[in-house]
A = this chain, B = another copy of it.
Amino acid sequence: MRFLTTIFTMCIMIGCGILPHSVTAQESKQMAAKQFILSPIGSVQKENGRTTLLLNKDVEPALRGLDEFSHVWVFWWFGRNDIQKKRAVLQVHPRGNRENPLTGVFACRAPVRPNLIALTLCRVISVKDNVIEIDKIDAFADTPILDLKPYIPSNDSAKASVPDWLKNRK
Contacts of A148 in B (CB 8 A): 106
Chain copies in the assembled complex: 2
B109 and A62 contact, CB distance less than 8 A: no
Q: Convert A5-49 into 0s and 1s, putting 1 for each residue whose CB lies closer than 8 angstroms to a CB of B.
A: 000000000000000000000000000011111111100000000
Task: Kindly state the separation between the CA atoms of A104 and B23 in the bound complex, as whole angstroms.
Answer: 39
- Out of B64, B114, B115, name the residue touching A103 (CB < 8 Å): B64
Task: Kindly state the separation between the CA atoms of A157 and B147 in the bound complex, as whole angstroms.
Answer: 18
B65 and A103 contact, CB distance less than 8 A: yes
Task: Kindly state the separation between the CA atoms of A161 and B153 in the bound complex, as whole angstroms.
Answer: 8
Chain B's nearest CB lies how many Å from the CB of A64?
4
A153 and B162 contact, CB distance less than 8 A: yes
Q: In the complex, which of the residues A65, A79, A90, A119 has the most CB atoms of chain B within 10 Å of its own CB atom?
A: A65
B151 and A160 contact, CB distance less than 8 A: yes
Task: Kindly state the separation between the CA atoms of A106 and B148 in the bound complex, as whole angstroms.
Answer: 5
B107 and A69 contact, CB distance less than 8 A: yes
The reply on A91 being an interface residue by CB < 8 A is: yes
The reply on A131 being an interface residue by CB < 8 A is: no
Task: Kindly state the separation between the CA atoms of A75 and B157 in the bound complex, as whole angstroms.
Answer: 16
Contacts of A62 in B (CB 8 A): 90-91, 104-107, 113-114
- Can you show 13 pairs from A to B with CB atoms below 8 A apart? A35-B37, A36-B146, A37-B37, A37-B38, A59-B90, A65-B103, A65-B163, A69-B161, A71-B158, A121-B155, A121-B158, A123-B158, A151-B160
